[in-house]
Amino acid sequence: MADTSDFRNGLIIKFKNDLYTITEFQHVKPGKGGAFVRSTLKNLRTGKVLDRKS
């Protein structure tokens, strides 16, 4: 299981029973609240692009 600290461009992960490749990710540290990772995932089967915050 990949953790957000393992993210890198081109990494292929299984998410919601489909395979996705990470096309972009950014570690965000807002002034208020905890840090998070914003990532863009592309479905390898359909080509659909998702923007996720984790």
- pLDDT value for 17: 94
Rounded distance, CA 17 to CA 12, Å?
13
Q: Which residues contact 9 (CB under 8 A, 6 or more apart)?
A: 22, 23, 24, 25
Res. 7 pLDDT band, cuts 50 70 90: confident
State the pLDDT confidence band at 4, using cuts at 50, 70 and 90: confident
Q: Could you tell me the pLDDT band of residue 10, with boundaries at 50, 70 and 90?
A: very high
Q: Which residues contact 22 (CB under 8 A, 6 or more apart)?
A: 7, 8, 9, 10, 11, 12, 13, 39, 40, 41
Q: What are the tens digits of pLDDT across the range 19-49?
A: 999 999 999 999 999 999 999 999 999 999 9
The CATH class of 4-53 is mainly beta
